[in-house]
Amino acid sequence: MIDESSLRAVRGHLRATSRIVVLTGAGISAESGVPTFRDAQTGLWAKFDPQQLATEEAFRANPRMVWDWYVFRRELIGKVSPNAGHRALAEFASRHPGRLTLVTQNVDGLHQKAGSEGVLALHGNIFDDQWLDTPKPCCNADAAAAGSPPYCDRCGNLMRPGVVWFGEALPMRALDAAQVAARACDLMLVVGTSGAVYPAAGLARTTAGQVVIINPEPTELDDAADIVLRGKAAQVLPQLLLEE
Protein backbone atom coordinates (compact mmCIF):
# COMPACT_ATOMS: atom_id res chain seq x y z
CA MET A 1 0.00 0.00 0.00
CA ILE A 2 1.27 3.47 -0.90
CA ASP A 3 2.04 5.68 2.07
CA GLU A 4 -0.68 8.34 2.24
CA SER A 5 1.50 10.90 4.00
CA SER A 6 4.06 10.65 1.20
CA LEU A 7 1.31 11.10 -1.38
CA ARG A 8 0.13 14.23 0.39
CA ALA A 9 3.68 15.57 0.50
CA VAL A 10 4.17 15.08 -3.23
CA ARG A 11 0.79 16.66 -3.98
CA GLY A 12 1.95 19.64 -1.96
CA HIS A 13 5.12 19.90 -4.03
CA LEU A 14 3.05 19.67 -7.22
CA ARG A 15 0.83 22.55 -6.12
CA ALA A 16 3.80 24.68 -5.10
CA THR A 17 5.94 24.42 -8.21
CA SER A 18 5.58 25.57 -11.80
CA ARG A 19 8.61 23.64 -13.07
CA ILE A 20 8.13 19.87 -13.09
CA VAL A 21 10.12 17.24 -14.95
CA VAL A 22 8.90 13.66 -15.34
CA LEU A 23 11.40 11.00 -16.42
CA THR A 24 9.83 7.69 -17.46
CA GLY A 25 11.34 4.30 -18.20
CA ALA A 26 10.33 0.84 -19.31
CA GLY A 27 8.22 0.15 -16.22
CA ILE A 28 5.35 2.44 -17.20
CA SER A 29 5.15 0.81 -20.64
CA ALA A 30 5.38 -2.70 -19.22
CA GLU A 31 2.18 -1.92 -17.33
CA SER A 32 0.49 -1.49 -20.72
CA GLY A 33 1.84 -4.83 -21.88
CA VAL A 34 4.80 -3.56 -23.91
CA PRO A 35 7.41 -6.31 -23.87
CA THR A 36 10.66 -5.18 -22.31
CA PHE A 37 13.76 -5.30 -24.46
CA ARG A 38 14.54 -8.89 -23.47
CA ASP A 39 10.91 -10.01 -23.28
CA ALA A 40 10.71 -9.47 -27.05
CA GLN A 41 13.08 -12.42 -27.46
CA THR A 42 10.42 -15.06 -28.06
CA GLY A 43 9.76 -17.67 -30.71
CA LEU A 44 12.05 -17.21 -33.68
CA TRP A 45 14.06 -14.54 -31.86
CA ALA A 46 14.69 -16.44 -28.62
CA LYS A 47 18.15 -17.53 -29.74
CA PHE A 48 19.35 -13.97 -30.37
CA ASP A 49 20.92 -11.56 -27.90
CA PRO A 50 19.10 -8.22 -28.28
CA GLN A 51 22.33 -6.35 -27.56
CA GLN A 52 23.76 -8.00 -30.67
CA LEU A 53 20.79 -6.95 -32.78
CA ALA A 54 20.45 -3.33 -31.65
CA THR A 55 23.73 -2.07 -33.09
CA GLU A 56 24.84 -0.42 -36.29
CA GLU A 57 27.35 -3.22 -36.80
CA ALA A 58 24.63 -5.87 -36.65
CA PHE A 59 22.46 -3.93 -39.07
CA ARG A 60 25.26 -3.49 -41.60
CA ALA A 61 26.19 -7.16 -41.30
CA ASN A 62 22.64 -8.47 -41.74
CA PRO A 63 20.18 -5.64 -42.45
CA ARG A 64 17.28 -7.94 -43.31
CA MET A 65 17.49 -9.85 -40.01
CA VAL A 66 17.71 -6.72 -37.86
CA TRP A 67 14.96 -4.95 -39.82
CA ASP A 68 12.66 -7.96 -39.46
CA TRP A 69 13.31 -8.01 -35.69
CA TYR A 70 12.19 -4.39 -35.45
CA VAL A 71 9.13 -5.14 -37.59
CA PHE A 72 8.32 -7.90 -35.09
CA ARG A 73 8.74 -5.50 -32.16
CA ARG A 74 6.61 -2.85 -33.88
CA GLU A 75 3.83 -5.39 -34.28
CA LEU A 76 3.99 -6.28 -30.57
CA ILE A 77 3.98 -2.65 -29.46
CA GLY A 78 1.24 -1.71 -31.92
CA LYS A 79 -1.20 -3.96 -30.08
CA VAL A 80 -1.03 -2.07 -26.75
CA SER A 81 -2.59 1.15 -25.53
CA PRO A 82 -1.56 3.87 -23.07
CA ASN A 83 -2.43 3.12 -19.47
CA ALA A 84 -3.78 5.34 -16.70
CA GLY A 85 -0.29 6.60 -15.92
CA HIS A 86 0.30 7.80 -19.49
CA ARG A 87 -3.14 9.42 -19.55
CA ALA A 88 -2.69 11.14 -16.18
CA LEU A 89 0.51 12.81 -17.38
CA ALA A 90 -1.16 13.99 -20.59
CA GLU A 91 -4.21 15.32 -18.74
CA PHE A 92 -2.11 17.15 -16.16
CA ALA A 93 -0.01 18.82 -18.86
CA SER A 94 -3.17 19.81 -20.72
CA ARG A 95 -4.62 21.44 -17.61
CA HIS A 96 -1.34 23.15 -16.69
CA PRO A 97 0.34 24.31 -19.91
CA GLY A 98 4.06 24.94 -19.61
CA ARG A 99 4.48 23.41 -16.16
CA LEU A 100 5.53 19.86 -17.05
CA THR A 101 8.41 18.62 -19.19
CA LEU A 102 8.08 14.94 -20.07
CA VAL A 103 11.31 13.04 -20.75
CA THR A 104 11.18 9.36 -21.68
CA GLN A 105 13.62 6.55 -22.27
CA ASN A 106 10.86 4.59 -24.02
CA VAL A 107 10.65 4.22 -27.79
CA ASP A 108 7.04 2.99 -27.99
CA GLY A 109 5.31 6.35 -28.49
CA LEU A 110 2.67 5.63 -25.83
CA HIS A 111 3.07 9.04 -24.18
CA GLN A 112 2.38 10.72 -27.51
CA LYS A 113 -0.50 8.34 -28.17
CA ALA A 114 -2.01 9.34 -24.81
CA GLY A 115 -1.95 12.99 -25.88
CA SER A 116 1.30 14.30 -24.39
CA GLU A 117 2.95 16.96 -26.53
CA GLY A 118 6.58 17.98 -26.74
CA VAL A 119 7.83 14.66 -25.37
CA LEU A 120 11.63 14.49 -25.17
CA ALA A 121 12.25 10.95 -26.43
CA LEU A 122 15.87 10.33 -25.48
CA HIS A 123 16.08 6.97 -27.25
CA GLY A 124 14.01 7.82 -30.32
CA ASN A 125 10.80 6.23 -31.56
CA ILE A 126 10.56 2.69 -32.87
CA PHE A 127 7.88 3.65 -35.40
CA ASP A 128 10.11 6.25 -37.07
CA ASP A 129 12.58 5.50 -39.84
CA GLN A 130 15.73 7.31 -40.85
CA TRP A 131 18.53 6.86 -43.34
CA LEU A 132 21.43 4.67 -42.24
CA ASP A 133 24.02 6.86 -43.95
CA THR A 134 23.98 10.61 -44.53
CA PRO A 135 21.28 11.05 -47.17
CA LYS A 136 22.22 12.22 -50.65
CA PRO A 137 19.94 14.41 -52.78
CA CYS A 138 18.49 11.23 -54.30
CA CYS A 139 17.42 9.87 -50.88
CA ASN A 140 13.69 10.53 -50.53
CA ALA A 141 12.19 8.73 -47.54
CA ASP A 142 8.69 9.04 -49.00
CA ALA A 143 9.81 7.28 -52.19
CA ALA A 144 12.08 4.62 -50.69
CA ALA A 145 11.98 1.33 -52.55
CA ALA A 146 10.13 -1.45 -50.76
CA GLY A 147 12.32 -3.99 -49.07
CA SER A 148 13.52 -5.38 -45.77
CA PRO A 149 14.73 -2.75 -45.14
CA PRO A 150 13.47 -0.11 -47.60
CA TYR A 151 16.26 1.57 -49.58
CA CYS A 152 17.09 4.31 -52.02
CA ASP A 153 16.91 2.73 -55.47
CA ARG A 154 19.52 5.15 -56.82
CA CYS A 155 22.36 5.01 -54.28
CA GLY A 156 21.41 1.98 -52.17
CA ASN A 157 21.23 3.84 -48.85
CA LEU A 158 19.18 1.83 -46.35
CA MET A 159 16.39 2.92 -44.04
CA ARG A 160 16.84 1.98 -40.38
CA PRO A 161 14.65 2.27 -37.28
CA GLY A 162 14.69 5.70 -35.66
CA VAL A 163 15.97 4.46 -32.30
CA VAL A 164 19.25 4.90 -30.46
CA TRP A 165 21.33 1.76 -30.80
CA PHE A 166 24.01 0.56 -28.40
CA GLY A 167 27.15 2.62 -28.90
CA GLU A 168 25.30 5.61 -30.37
CA ALA A 169 24.93 9.05 -28.85
CA LEU A 170 21.53 10.28 -27.73
CA PRO A 171 19.88 12.93 -29.93
CA MET A 172 21.58 16.11 -28.77
CA ARG A 173 18.55 18.39 -29.09
CA ALA A 174 16.40 16.18 -26.85
CA LEU A 175 19.22 15.52 -24.37
CA ASP A 176 20.17 19.19 -24.10
CA ALA A 177 16.53 20.17 -23.54
CA ALA A 178 16.15 17.47 -20.88
CA GLN A 179 19.29 18.57 -19.06
CA VAL A 180 18.23 22.21 -19.09
CA ALA A 181 14.78 21.30 -17.76
CA ALA A 182 16.28 19.02 -15.08
CA ARG A 183 18.62 21.71 -13.80
CA ALA A 184 15.83 24.29 -13.68
CA CYS A 185 13.00 22.22 -12.23
CA ASP A 186 11.74 22.31 -8.66
CA LEU A 187 10.33 18.77 -8.75
CA MET A 188 11.31 15.66 -10.68
CA LEU A 189 9.19 12.51 -10.81
CA VAL A 190 11.23 9.46 -11.83
CA VAL A 191 8.75 6.84 -12.97
CA GLY A 192 9.24 3.20 -13.87
CA THR A 193 12.97 3.26 -14.48
CA SER A 194 15.68 1.19 -12.83
CA GLY A 195 18.04 4.14 -12.94
CA ALA A 196 20.76 2.03 -14.54
CA VAL A 197 20.89 3.58 -18.02
CA TYR A 198 22.91 6.76 -18.45
CA PRO A 199 22.92 9.58 -19.35
CA ALA A 200 19.14 9.53 -18.78
CA ALA A 201 19.45 8.36 -15.17
CA GLY A 202 21.91 11.16 -14.50
CA LEU A 203 19.13 13.72 -14.84
CA ALA A 204 17.91 12.81 -11.36
CA ARG A 205 21.38 13.45 -9.94
CA THR A 206 21.86 16.84 -11.59
CA THR A 207 18.63 18.51 -10.53
CA ALA A 208 18.50 20.80 -7.53
CA GLY A 209 14.79 20.13 -7.18
CA GLN A 210 12.95 17.56 -5.11
CA VAL A 211 13.25 14.03 -6.52
CA VAL A 212 10.38 11.56 -6.19
CA ILE A 213 10.87 7.93 -7.25
CA ILE A 214 7.74 6.04 -8.35
CA ASN A 215 8.51 2.36 -8.76
CA PRO A 216 7.24 -0.91 -7.27
CA GLU A 217 10.82 -2.14 -6.83
CA PRO A 218 14.05 -0.56 -5.50
CA THR A 219 16.04 1.40 -8.07
CA GLU A 220 19.59 2.61 -8.44
CA LEU A 221 18.34 6.17 -7.93
CA ASP A 222 16.63 5.64 -4.58
CA ASP A 223 19.60 7.20 -2.80
CA ALA A 224 19.01 10.44 -4.75
CA ALA A 225 15.32 10.59 -3.81
CA ASP A 226 13.64 12.87 -1.31
CA ILE A 227 10.53 10.66 -1.42
CA VAL A 228 10.08 7.10 -2.68
CA LEU A 229 6.59 5.88 -3.60
CA ARG A 230 6.49 2.13 -3.94
CA GLY A 231 3.79 1.49 -6.51
CA LYS A 232 3.03 1.17 -10.19
CA ALA A 233 2.78 4.20 -12.41
CA ALA A 234 -0.79 3.44 -13.49
CA GLN A 235 -1.86 3.49 -9.85
CA VAL A 236 0.29 6.26 -8.40
CA LEU A 237 0.26 8.92 -11.14
CA PRO A 238 -3.55 9.34 -11.26
CA GLN A 239 -3.57 9.74 -7.48
CA LEU A 240 -0.92 12.44 -7.68
CA LEU A 241 -1.82 14.31 -10.84
CA LEU A 242 -5.59 14.03 -11.05
CA GLU A 243 -6.25 14.72 -7.38
CA GLU A 244 -3.68 17.43 -6.76
Q: Tell me: the pLDDT tens digits for 158-181?
A: 999 999 999 999 999 999 999 999
65 and 130 in a single domain? The answer is: yes
Structural Rg of the chain based on CA atoms: 19
Catalytic annotation present for 86: no
240 and 153 in a single domain? The answer is: no
Residue 76: pLDDT above 60? yes
**Residue tagged active-site, from 13, 86, 111, 123:** 123
129 and 117 in a single domain? The answer is: no
* pLDDT at residue 141, as a whole number: 95
67 and 173 in a single domain? The answer is: no
Of the three residues 147, 163, 179, the one that is the final residue of a domain is 163
230 and 178 in a single domain? The answer is: yes
Kindly state the average pLDDT of the residues 203-216.
Answer: 95
Give the structural domain span for 204: 1-33+81-123+168-244
151 and 219 in a single domain? The answer is: no
85-114 tens-digit pLDDT: 999 999 999 999 999 999 999 999 999 999
Which has the higher per-residue pLDDT, 208 or 124? 124
Which has the higher per-residue pLDDT, 170 or 3? 170
The pLDDT-based confidence of 42 (bands split at 50, 70, 90) is low
